[in-house]
Amino acid sequence: MGQLIVQKYGGSSVADPEKIKNVARRVAESAAPDHRMVVVVSAMGKTTDGLLALAAAITSNPDPREMDMLLATGEQVTVGLLAMALQSLGRPACSFTGPQVGLYTDEVHTRARIKRITAERISAALDAGKIVVVAGFQGMTEQGDITTLGRGGSDLTGVALAAALKADVCEIFTDVDGVYTADPNVVPDARKLARVSYDEMLEMASLGAKVLQSRSVEFAKKYGVSVHVRSTFKPDPGTLVTREDHSMEEAVVTGITHDRGQAKVSILRVPDRPGIAAQVFGGLGAQSIVVDMIVQNISRDGLTDISFTLPRADRQRAERVLAGLAREIGAEGVVADDRVAKVSIVGVGMRSHAGVAARMFTTMSKEGINIQMISTSEIAVSCVIEDKYTELAVRALHDTFELGRERD
């Protein structure tokens, strides 16, 4: 009995008709006669960004349901074209949207969570000998409204279908040939990792390594799906994201990540009394604004500053909410800064090594980079710095922790 293979191709891999034909050839090559193939695709190139810009040209406050109606169109274009390209190669193929394959989600538009996948039409089409092409990034509520799964969400569609169909292989094809020790577009001597554990990948993804969407890694870990990240344009094996095991590298730090999509907001001279933080973050939470790092100083004169980071796209909304709140609680005011970036070091080896954070801070200080905020987890340390130093910081940290390719 042949294998059931799920492949996902990202936006840059299907950016134009030639690239779609190339993907069709690649799929056809993988599709040995007794294999069953399910192919998930993203919107072409920067289509999703274009759709977001269109919405922004209409309103600064789009209705999330309508936003999903708009965003889901991108992937529908690609599935139709890829199915045609496969048919042109003489391969029977059939495309489906997320709703058509029974991908049900909750009602949180623009970042919905998957609840269940029925996949009846996929199974029927596979039984009929077809290559099944599925639109990534989209699903529907139990009421039948279209939803999307958050930016980068086609990765999640791929992993979730692999879990639901009990696929033998889940391959994520992209424009780099695997998961690297840092973004290879920023660090020229970054090294490809042969294997990386779910926990490290999850931390890297949530701290900015957009090669995999973090929720897709969470899902892969939960259902034990091994994910192979590899290049659309080269045949070489890529990186296996899988359970931690002894054959993995034993470096203290596995990778350096950066995230330029954040902003920093501070509420100045807040009265230091019980309930204030609850009021501030409760107010933001009520508007579905997710904050990341939070820092509160000790107070000297009964007043303190509270700073936090959040996705840059939510900054204006947060400022509006906080302006009202600041008046209510008697704070002096609110200031925001978009020119920040978060740089992080990640590695399971940190669990058992001391002094790793100190090496990070020393590197920053040697480069003359001021650290504005710090946060840590069991396997990561992150610093918020001025945006213009991002590349410098990532490269310097990559050197400090000796992550580069072995030089001959």
Site string for Mg ion, 1-40 (x = CB under 5 A): ---------x------------------------------
- Cβ-closest residue to Mg ion? 152
341 near 384, Cβ under 8 Å?
A: yes
Q: Is 169 helix (H, G, I), strand (E, B) or coil?
A: strand
Which lies closer to ligand ADP via its Cβ, residue 10 or residue 139?
10
Which lies closer to ligand ADP via its Cβ, residue 176 or residue 318?
176
Which range binds ligand ASP by CB under 6 A, 59-67, 149-157, 165-173, 360-368? 149-157
Total number of residues binding ligand ASP (CB under 6 A)? 13
Render 191-212 in DSSP notation, one character per residue: -B-SEEEHHHHHHHHHTT-TTS
Work out which of 137, 173, 308, 401 binds ligand ASP, going by CB under 6 A.
137
| Residue 255 within binding range of Mg ion, rule CB under 5 A | no
CB of 288 to ligand ADP, least distance (A): 23
- Can you give the binding site for ligand ADP, defined by CB under 6 A? 10-13, 42, 152, 174-176, 179-180, 182-185, 209-211, 255
| Residue 43 within binding range of ligand ASP, rule CB under 6 A | yes
| Residue 151 within binding range of ligand ASP, rule CB under 6 A | yes
| Residue 152 within binding range of Mg ion, rule CB under 5 A | yes
Residue type, 95: S
Secondary structure letter of residue 369 according to DSSP:
P
Task: Tokens for 102, please give them.
Answer: 């029974």
Residue 98's binding partner out of ligand ADP, ligand ASP, Mg ion, none, with CB under 5 to 8 Å set by partner kind = none
Please state, in angstroms and rounded to a whole number, the distance separating the CA atoms of residues 361 and 260: 19
CB of 278 to Mg ion, least distance (A): 36
Please state, in angstroms and rounded to a whole number, the distance separating the CA atoms of residues 321 and 290: 13
Which lies closer to ligand ADP via its Cβ, residue 293 or residue 403?
403
CB-based contacts of 158, cutoff 8 Å, min separation 6: 6, 7, 8, 40, 136, 170, 172, 216
Residue 230, number of CB atoms within 10 A of its CB: 23
Which lies closer to ligand ADP via its Cβ, residue 139 or residue 153?
153
Secondary structure letter of residue 372 according to DSSP:
-
CB of 402 to ligand ADP, least distance (A): 16
Q: Which of 250, 248, 307, 301 is nearest to 272 (CA)?
A: 301
| Residue 136 within binding range of ligand ASP, rule CB under 6 A | yes
Q: Which of 158, 222, 211, 153 is nearest to 181 (CA)?
A: 211
Give the relative orientation of helices 356-366 and 390-400 as an angle to the nearest 10 degrees: 130
- C-alpha pair distances (Å), 54 with each of 67, 362, 397: 10, 45, 39
| Residue 153 within binding range of Mg ion, rule CB under 5 A | no
CB of 172 to ligand ADP, least distance (A): 7
CB of 275 to ligand ADP, least distance (A): 40
CB of 253 to ligand ADP, least distance (A): 13
Q: Residue 111: phi, psi to the nearest 5?
A: -155, 55
Which lies closer to ligand ASP via its Cβ, residue 82 or residue 280?
82
- Where does 89-147 have alpha helices with state H? 120-127
Work out which of 5, 6, 7, 11 binds ligand ASP, going by CB under 6 A.
11
Site string for ligand ASP, 69-98 (x = CB under 6 A): -----x------------------------
Give the relative orientation of helices 47-58 and 64-88 as an angle to the nearest 10 degrees: 150
| Dihedral, CA of residue 285, residue 291, residue 293 and residue 299, to nearest 10 | -40
Which lies closer to ligand ADP via its Cβ, residue 172 or residue 356?
172
Task: Specify the residue for token string 């034993």.
Answer: 250
Which lies closer to ligand ASP via its Cβ, residue 48 or residue 147?
48
Which lies closer to Mg ion via its Cβ, residue 10 or residue 158?
10
| Residue 208 within binding range of Mg ion, rule CB under 5 A | no
- Cβ-closest residue to ligand ADP? 10
Please state, in angstroms and rounded to a whole number, the distance separating the CA atoms of residues 278 and 134: 43
133 near 87, Cβ under 8 Å?
A: no
Give the relative orientation of helices 154-164 and 214-223 as an angle to the nearest 10 degrees: 10
Residue 330, number of CB atoms within 10 A of its CB: 11
Total number of residues binding Mg ion (CB under 5 A)? 2
Residue 179's binding partner out of ligand ADP, Mg ion, ligand ASP, none, with CB under 5 to 8 Å set by partner kind = ligand ADP
| Residue 255 within binding range of ligand ASP, rule CB under 6 A | no
Task: Kindly list the residues in this chain that would bind ligand ASP in the complex (CB under 6 A).
Answer: 10-11, 42-43, 48, 74, 136-137, 151-155
